[in-house]
Every structure is written in C-alpha cells, then in structure tokens.
Amino acid sequence: MGTDAPESMGFKVNMGNNVYINLNPDTRAETKALFDKLSSGGQVTMELADMFWGDYYGKCTDKFGVQWMFSCTEPA
C-alpha cells in the first residue's frame, strides 16, 4: 500500500516515518506480545482493538522511530 506525503499537507518525511512495517501474526496472543515488545520505549499510536472490518489491529512507533502496524484475523 502506498500514498503521497506532500509537505503542503503537513507531512514531513524522515527516516522511519516514511514507511510502516506491517505484521500479520497468526494469533491474537502473538500479536499482543509483538506489539508490547515493539512499542516498549516508543509510542502507541493506536491501541490494539477489534476493527469494523474484523481484524485485531493496532499501530505503534518503536524506540528507534520505526512505525509498525499489526493486523490479526484470528476471531475473538
């Protein structure tokens, strides 16, 4: 997935915020464990939660400034 990030719309592209790394673990438990480890010392930008499209989803930025997305399709 890609998108434009023009400075005229308030985006400032820097190393780390120019991409998200998306992980799709098989289980909610694995998703939560990875999310907790990668967000430790960083910033949670969207807590893990059930989404309207059916996934368990969340986002964070790790302590190095790398952005992560998590999406798990295992039912609740």
Q: Output the DSSP codes for 2-62.
A: -----GGGT----TTTS-EEEE--SSHHHHHHHHHHHHTTSEEEEEEEE-TTS-EEEEEE-
In the predicted structure, residue 5 carries a pLDDT above the cut 80:
no
pTM listed for this prediction: 0.81
Average confidence (pLDDT) over 5-9: 76
User: Could you give all domains of the chain from N- to C-terminal order, each with its CATH number?
Assistant: 20-72 (3.10.180.10)
pLDDT tens per residue across span 28-67: 999 999 999 999 999 999 999 999 999 999 999 999 988 9
72 confidence band (pLDDT: 50, 70, 90): very high
- Taking alpha carbons only, the member of 31, 33, 64 closest to residue 50 is 31
16 confidence band (pLDDT: 50, 70, 90): low
